[in-house]
Amino acid sequence: MSMIVRRLSRAATAGLVAAAALTAAAHSAEAADTLGSAAVGQGRYFGTAVAASHLGESDYAATLDREFSSVTPENEMKWDATEPSRGSFTFTSADRIVDHAQSQGMDVRGHTLVWHSQLPSWVSPLGAQDLRTAMNAHINGLMGHYKGEIHSWDVVNEAFQDGGSGARRSSPFQDKLGDGFIEEAFRTARAADPAAKLCYNDYNTDGVNAKSNAVYDMVKDFKSRGVPIDCVGFQSHFNSNSPVPSDYRHNLQRFADLGVDVQITELDIEGSGSAQAADYTKMVEACLAVSRCTGMTVWGVTDKYSWRSGGTPLLFDGDYNEKPAYGAVLSALGGSGGPGDPGDPGDPGDGASCTATYTRTADWSSGYNGQVTITAGAEPISSWTATVTLPAQQSVSSLWNGTPTWSGNVMTVRPSWNGTLAAGASTSFGFTAAKNGSDAAPTVGTCTAS
Ligand code: 9MR
């Protein structure tokens, strides 16, 4: 029997996906006394933007590794960094971040594929048809390199104008390709890495206003027409000119109600002391109150490297000391008490459990697609393992949203990016099987969780 599971591009050579999944489980099983582990207890990730150039600084790396469960390359995956001349991709800095994250069991957010800013100079002069070709080639090149390694991609960033009009922002893409460039980018992205969540990301869309209404209308239209969008990112850069909106949570919820996940993607709040801490608390509470808010990312580890360093907007000061905002976030995430706290997945003897159910989601004469849904029991979980036994003749040609190992015709599947689940929450993995003359259903064994 030939069992050909398509392994994943960059990671395939190093076997990093499987390693990362295993490390992630270990990472998240610690007591909930860090941001990442406390967020895991809530079924969320807690991430930070990272600059490759700082990874060699020991305090930076130590704080990053200890506290965060997801990273977003701050600049290293942008178009100017990855395709500075046409068709010639460079991934050195971005790879450094992804490799570091995987070695620590952290997930990676991809930022960003199509954006008017940080574009190399060769892009803007292209004519419409050439620009379309270049845009799709860029998406394919970047997503292809990281296929299977990115939990969510900012496919299009900041395509709407500020101000009250709700109009699209002028950019080479908008001006030459029209409104349809966003849809085209999402369709290309889905084909390039079907396992990645595809997000639209923007700022000043954090409350209900003309800009967020325009994004809302676009997402609603995409959902109604089957354009592949999975999530909306709310950058959430706040200061006294742009304070935390009082309807922040309501705004997240109305997007979630359209059937997309929501993520807080670039959080920073200028200020200090208890006022800053109180605003951070509101952010965490808003995300936890919206079940489709899957995680949050702060835009940097330490104030000293923030793009708004003068405003000291982050959770650690320039000496990596925890600020009051840090304690507020940890406490809002239910952390800090360590073992014995409700929701701490590291407690010995806690009742981590899961169930696995199988459905056939597509069927044709020579093959079918199967889906296995994993549902956490009464406690949050940080990892799961499910076994699927195939009829002897059948073979699996691809599998997504899971990491398989094989023994004969028994496939043991562990999470790729989707190990952490809140109590009662579900995720699923899917696979394509060739029937080879047998139309029988596979059997799904016991699901185990930690
Ligand atoms: O933090 C980034 C900073 O280092 C860059 O100089 C800047 C260049 O545009 O981009 C910053 O990140 C931006 C992000 O990519 C998109 N949303 C706004 C962020 C802050 O400007």
d(CA 289, CA 277): 18
Q: What is each CA distance from 236 to 5, 41, 198, 219, 382, in whole angstroms?
A: 40, 23, 19, 19, 27
Quick one: pLDDT at residue 350? 56
Largest CA distance in the chain: 68
Quick one: pLDDT at residue 25? 35
Q: Is the CB of 204 under 6 A from ligand 1?
A: no
Which residues, 6 or more positions from 304, have their beta carbon under 8 angstroms from its beta carbon? 317, 318
pLDDT, tens digit, 9 for 90 and up, residues 400-441: 999 888 878 888 899 988 999 888 889 999 999 999 999 999
**Both tokens of residue 324?**
């009051």
**Both tokens of residue 277?**
């801490």
Quick one: pLDDT at residue 11? 52
Quick one: pLDDT at residue 80? 98
Q: Going residue by residue through the chain (450 aa), what tens digit of pLDDT does each one get? A: 333 333 345 654 444 443 333 333 334 344 479 999 999 999 999 999 999 999 999 999 999 999 999 999 999 999 999 999 999 999 999 999 999 999 999 999 999 999 999 999 999 999 999 999 999 999 999 999 999 999 999 999 999 998 888 999 999 999 999 999 999 999 999 999 999 999 999 999 999 999 999 999 999 999 999 999 999 999 999 999 999 999 999 999 999 999 999 999 999 999 999 999 999 999 999 999 999 999 999 999 999 999 999 999 999 999 999 999 999 999 999 997 443 444 444 343 357 888 899 999 999 999 999 999 999 888 888 889 998 999 999 999 999 999 888 878 888 899 988 999 888 889 999 999 999 999 999 998 888 888
**Both tokens of residue 404?**
């398989």
Q: Whose CA is nearest to atom 8 of ligand 1?
A: 118
pLDDT, tens digit, 9 for 90 and up, residues 300-350: 999 999 999 999 999 999 999 999 999 999 999 999 744 344 444 434 335
Q: Whose CA is nearest to atom 1 of ligand 1?
A: 307
Burial grade of 321 (CB within 10 A; 0-12, 13-18, 19 or more): exposed
**Both tokens of residue 178?**
């029209």
DSSP classification of residue 38:
H
Quick one: pLDDT at residue 379? 80
Which residues, 6 or more positions from 175, have their beta carbon under 8 angstroms from its beta carbon? none
d(CA 111, CA 201): 9
Quick one: pLDDT at residue 14? 44
CA 424–ligand 1 middle distance (angstroms)? 37
CA 197–ligand 1 middle distance (angstroms)? 21
Would the pTM of this model clear 0.85, i.e. be above it? no
Q: Report whether 382 contacts 450 (CB < 8 A).
A: yes
Q: Is the CB of 309 under 6 A from ligand 1?
A: no
Q: What is each CA distance from 43 to 181, 254, 325, in whole angstroms?
A: 34, 20, 21
Q: Is the CB of 235 under 6 A from ligand 1?
A: yes
Which residues, 6 or more positions from 265, have their beta carbon under 8 angstroms from its beta carbon? 72, 109, 111, 154, 199, 201, 233, 234, 235, 236, 296, 297
Residues noted as catalytic: 158, 266
Q: Whose CA is nearest to atom 3 of ligand 1?
A: 307
Which residue in this structure is represented by tokens 């933007």?
Answer: 49
